A and B are shown apart, each in its own frame.
Chain A
Amino acid sequence: MKAVLNGQVIIYGTGGSTLQAQRETLVFVHGAGFDHAVWTPMARYFARHGLNVVALDLPGHGGSDGPACRTIEAMSDVLSGLLDFLNLSQATIVGHSMGTLVALFMAQRYPQQVSKMVLLGTSNPMPVGPPLLAAAAEGHHAAIEMANMFSHSRRGMLGASANPGLHSFNAAQRWMERLPAGVFHADLTACNNFELEIENCAILTLVLVGEADKMTPAKAGQSVATQLSNARVHMLKGCGHAMMTEQPNAVLDAVSNFVLG
């Protein structure tokens, strides 16, 4: 689907749902270097269960026009504008990695638009290692390799995907290789520069942490939960940062239990 916000095309998936104002809405925000297709299984699940689903491509990603946002604040402005454009007053924001920062900032700047949050692999702040940032700034392939390896547990790197015949580790690499020049660095810069002093956020939140997450370690996710006043933590045993592909069914169960009850 396509929305045009201030002349900029923003692409979003709906998981097959037809958006209706009276329905509960779930918004999915992808992480650095990815696009809305990382949410396809989950989007289809919640669409089948009668929710509005909006999984957007942030600017510069997937089918959305660039340039990429260089701050989490700018990404949040785009998401807020998209919800307005779609006449969706409030949504549960589900974010992965960089997408969790968008959710957290949405909760601060546009609290009226956020009903609940699901944070998959989060950290506040979310520092990015200097070698990774430097490689991304150069446009060097090592940035993709570093990010991909840090994003997967050892088991995730070797495979054993729950999705038959799919090699999620290699797919993640291809995803990042498709990015237009500069987008990955913009994403990582946005993450690295973000630090939010969370003030009195009582929005009901689920924080999913991966026991083997090297990118946003479980402790960092647990710390985010303590910064919020109404958050619960769900630990994924043995899971790396690439949660949706390493443990797709466990992630879906956790999010479903939280969203649908």
Chain B
Amino acid sequence: MMSRAPIDLAAIRSRHPQHFGPPSRERKFMQALGAGALLLLLVGMAQLGFFSGAFLSGVGKLGVVAGLMLPPNPGDWAHVRLYAMSLVETVAISFLGTLGASLLAVPVALLAANNVTTQRVLRFLSRRSLDTIRSVDILIWALIWINVVGLGPFAGVLAIMTSDIGNFGKLFSEAIEAADHKPVEGIVSTGGGRILGIRFGILPEVFPVLASQVLYFFESNTRSATIIGIVGAGGIGLHLAEAIRTLELQQASFIILIILVAVAAIDLVSSQLRFALIGRRGPAT
């Protein structure tokens, strides 16, 4: 049995003085910041009424609501058919919106990439407009497009398209900026112009990256497409909002269930396609 040597605290203290002194200024600052964030959280919660009886009674009601949602039950076959059709519509909205946005975003991304567009003003303007598009939520775009083409799924397609031009424009321009410049130089040196340089020098290199981002967004857009129906832009969201508002909660949970299944299926398919395109260790999206 080995006997334990007594701990010589003074020796340790003299060897590592930095761990025994008073906390450093940086550490104190971080602690103050954390405390401030926590205080803001508590004040905010008080402001929003979390510490009143309303919150507790709400939690009680939420339990009742959750109980009413089980088990998921569509009612009858007519409803199942209706929901299945609008689920297909939702996927169609997402597909068309994503595809349209990816086609329209390529020229905008070329304008916003600093290795393609040398004109600073043009680049600045295209970047700022992409930022502006992105800062407006997809539901707001849906409402605006409803004013143009009327209620229905077409407005949803246009809303997804608009909001994704902002996302794709930014992501694509970053991918284009990261592209190797040597192929373009090679093409220019053989006498090819700028357009040919972009077509044969940049596009083949960035295409797999762009395609994988598009596939990734197809999945997340399907999720968005399920909610734009809430404002009347087509898809299953309309039925979901209706079911929740009329307290047909078993139907609501059935709809949520089939949405989850559809999103999981699309996730599976699109990630398989992405791996096929870029290999398993591709760029993180």
Asked if A and B bind, the verdict is: no
Measured CB to CB, the residues of A under 8 A from B are none
Measured CB to CB, the residues of B under 8 A from A are none
